Amino acid sequence: MHLPWRDVAPGDGPAISTSVTAAEAAELARLAEGRTVLEVGSAYGYSAVVMALTGAQVTAVDPHGGPGSCAGSYEAMVANLAAYGVADQVEVIREQSQQALPWLAREGLAFGLVFIDGDHSAQAARHDIRWALQLLDPGGTIAVHDYLEACCCPGVREAADGLLEGGVLTDSMLAVVR
């Protein structure tokens, strides 16, 4: 399975470039509603907007620059959050997850949903999942994007299969309730 990037409008506003499918967006909205959310990997902000439109408070971690980042993603994300009226519901942390997630844990933060869609290498995905498990509220959910993306992101499935059990596959995203 390969999830192509395309422009999608998650509501009444501008189209945002994303590889998140309509089914995945609907599932993210359902999982995020009424929760605090940690998003690891934001790109242009599509999934952050989708989740914030449910009323969720989102902490979005993405370096928005450097290798593996989408060019111009920070400026586009900030503009998209403003265009959809959710800028006050999304805190953008411009850091690599390797620095940001331990810092969030030291701050004592916990989240009802952790959505992982950052660096897709096995090593980075393992890091993000391990920290997600520490940052998750009791009864919370971890959702891992690109789980079935074998052509471009095989490390995601490798990491998830090694660390998460009892997942429910929805479209190409693995969701795990803890």
pLDDT in tens, 118-152: 776 768 888 998 999 999 999 999 888 866 666 66
87-123: b or e for each residue (b if 16 or more CB lie within 10 Å)? bebbebbeebbeebbeebeeeeebbbbbbbbbbbbbe
pTM of the model: 0.89
d(CA 25, CA 159): 22
The domain over range 6-177 is classified in CATH as 3.40.50.150: yes
Read off the pLDDT of residues 55-105 as tens digits, 9 standing for 90 and up: 999 999 999 986 666 778 999 999 999 999 999 999 999 999 999 999 999
